[in-house]
Copies of this chain bind each other. A is one copy, B any other.
């Protein structure tokens, strides 16, 4: 019987409860899941790649078949190296969908065996975005409803440091 490795890629800046919900669903569906932080070259991230990897490792720890990694360069090259045939993406909203659709078709053109599957998070997480979480956290707002406890602490520490440097 074939064993499928799926990659759940993202910037994860930071990881939210919505991401973790999608991860849980993926872990039940595929033999092995790699949750992978991309370097995120295009946009400056709040957290460094190694900080984001730390978040992912904490999230992966509760599953036997999940591991956390980070990667640079193109997702399709990384998938090929890992011998992964499936990309997992969470779908929250229309705007997501458009972008995801383009990216999935582009990836497929480059690496035709690579299939993208879309999973839906629980509706209670459907509106959470890393961008809003950063914005709220920056002004000292409460983010317990949006991120795991570790990330909440990391956000507090990060913005404390950023304020001291100004």
- Chain A residues within 8 Å of B, Cβ to Cβ: 1, 3-4, 25, 28-29, 31, 41-42, 73-74, 76-77, 85-86, 91, 93-95, 97-99, 101-106, 108-110, 115-120, 123-124, 126-129, 132, 135-136, 138-142, 145-146
Q: Which of A1, A127, A136 has the most CB of B within 10 A?
A: A127
Copies assembled: 6
- A1 proximity list for chain B (CB < 8 A): 1, 3, 31
The answer for the CA separation of A19 and B94 in the assembled complex, in Å, is 22
Is the pair B74, A102 in contact by a Cβ cutoff of 8 Å?
no
Residues of B within 8 A of A136 (CB): 74, 106, 110
13 further interface pairs, Cβ-Cβ under 8 Å (given A93-B98, A93-B102): A28-B115, A29-B115, A41-B138, A95-B98, A101-B127, A102-B127, A102-B129, A105-B123, A106-B136, A117-B117, A117-B119, A118-B118, A124-B124
